[in-house]
Amino acid sequence: MQEATATSQSTSPSRFEQQACPAEEVDLRSAEKAPQSRIEDVTRELKHVLAKPMSLELDNAPCYFPYQAQHLVLTTTQRLLEESCFAFLVRCLPDLIRDRKWECAAVLELHNWLEILVDPQWKAFIEPNLARPFATGVLHDVRTIRHAAVYRTPTTASAVGQLVQSAVQFAGFLQDNRCLSQLEQLRSGLHIQIRQMEKTKREANLAMIKKLDGLLEQRKYAILGQKRLFEEVKAEAGRQVGELVDRVCGRQENVNNNECVTKEMVYDASSRTFPESGLVA
């Protein structure tokens, strides 16, 4: 029985040990086991992200169609313009077409048809059949259509729309109503898609700005709350330390005061007199 009692006393924490390890200290010990390196990594990453200018967080790049769609638009436009050039030259220069045995539009590429249309030797036959003289910018864009299609050049969606718009104007110069109608429908559909893409991107950027502003506001309040909590913890620690000092040193001071009072009340054995009254015992 005595051994069991001794065992229970040895295994159970003493009153002093219970006071020395309160629940708060257990929580602190658990917190100390947190992966400090991970905390530092997250802090470093947050500082890096928040240090970036706001513009870097937004997608301000121009819109692009998927390349397959871009290539389809440009090659289709190129084919329609080649057919329009061939039909125009059949009307204006039938002898040239017959002599060179050009049976269809596919015998030459678009830039080759353009060379014939702007060749000064055919000017007298061509210009009277044009709706109006060729515009230099339109001719440049028509050549670009061929180059972008052949050399697979990535082109912004707005630039693709501009190229098709120039193709519409070129078909108008040649007075090819069938080609003009098809290209106009293509241009109109592309314009709708381009506007929709740009609108969606603008809305996404605005939503991102709003979200980032909210995160920055939350970060500000989180930092303020953290500082406030640290100040409260600091104040509470100061109060606890003050009480600790009062319990330890204040108790000792009371003991010393009691000893002093006792000594004053004890008479001097050698003189047989009380220190306060001076009377002889």
Low-confidence ranges of the chain (pLDDT < 50): 1-34, 54-56, 267, 270, 274, 279-281
Residues 6+ apart with CB under 8 A from 99: none
- The pLDDT score that the predictor gives to residue 43 is 65
| pLDDT, position 164 | 98
Pair 83, 113: CB distance under 8 Å: no
User: Which pLDDT belongs to residue 7?
Assistant: 46
Q: How far apart are CA 131 and CA 128, in angstroms?
A: 8
> What's the pLDDT tens digit per position in 65-124?
999 999 999 999 999 999 999 999 999 999 999 999 999 999 999 999 999 999 999 999
Q: Which residue has the tokens 């005595």?
A: 2
pTM of the model: 0.61
| Residue 158, amino acid | S
Instruction: Output the pLDDT for position 210.
Output: 82
Name the CA dihedral angle for 49, 55, 57, 63, rounded to a multiple of 10 degrees. Answer: -160
Token pair listed for 236: 């509470």
From the number of C-beta atoms within 10 Å of its C-beta (0-12, 13-18, 19+), residue 110 rates as: buried
Report d(CA 236, CA 242) in Å as an integer. 10
